[in-house]
Homo-oligomer: A and B are copies of this chain.
């Protein structure tokens, strides 16, 4: 059953390599294939056998990040309860992927001309819908567009992940800092 063992090992290794790469690239986004390989405990040759090149690796990380985000959105049950509670759940669920998102967030700006992965558009749409729902229910103010609130959410998540990594903010405050700052602005003030 060589193909079973093969498949299993590949799957395990691939996942492990992706994790290591994500962790490393989060800290140093310019790491070389050599460094990524070392970090994963494998040789550059093996890394190259699993990912055709640096592009393929980054694309795979992008896929991973999108999958984790979508899983977080699912787990957060954005349609249930108040929109603010949904946002709280979302930030809670997405926190483990924050580091990876921080990397992809800056990396995506480099793709410039090339087409973006459609996954981001799907995520954007789902989160925008959440903010729109909050606006329509009267929870959120309407002078801040859903598109901007979505972008701001990602920006705050990436930024917070970065400052946590640098020790400027305690990791346990991640959720509080993001949610309170974002919702305070998105929530309509009770006058």
Contact = CB atoms under 8 A, between A and B. Distances in A.
Contacts of A163: 147-148, 151
A3 interface: no
B181 A189 contact: no
A169 B145 contact: yes
Interface size class of A (residues with CB under 8 A): 35 or more
Contacts of A184: 141, 184-187, 189
Interface of A: 27-30, 106, 109-110, 112, 141, 143-145, 147-149, 151-152, 154-156, 158-160, 162-163, 168-169, 173, 176-177, 180-187, 189-191
A188 to B, nearest CB: 9
A148 B169 contact: yes
A93 B116 CA distance: 33
A169 B159 CA distance: 20
Nearest to A147: B168
A64 B131 CA distance: 37
A29 B110 contact: yes
Q: Which secondary structure characterizes the binding site on chain A? A: helix
Contacts of A181: 144, 148-149, 152, 182, 185-186
A122 to B, nearest CB: 16
A152 B144 CA distance: 17
A182 B185 contact: yes
* Top 5 A-B pairs, shortest CB-CB distance: A184-B185, A155-B159, A181-B185, A185-B185, A155-B155
Given A109-B162, A147-B169, A149-B181, 18 more contacts: A28-B112, A29-B110, A30-B110, A106-B106, A143-B180, A145-B169, A147-B163, A147-B168, A148-B160, A151-B159, A151-B160, A152-B156, A152-B159, A152-B177, A155-B155, A155-B156, A184-B185, A184-B189
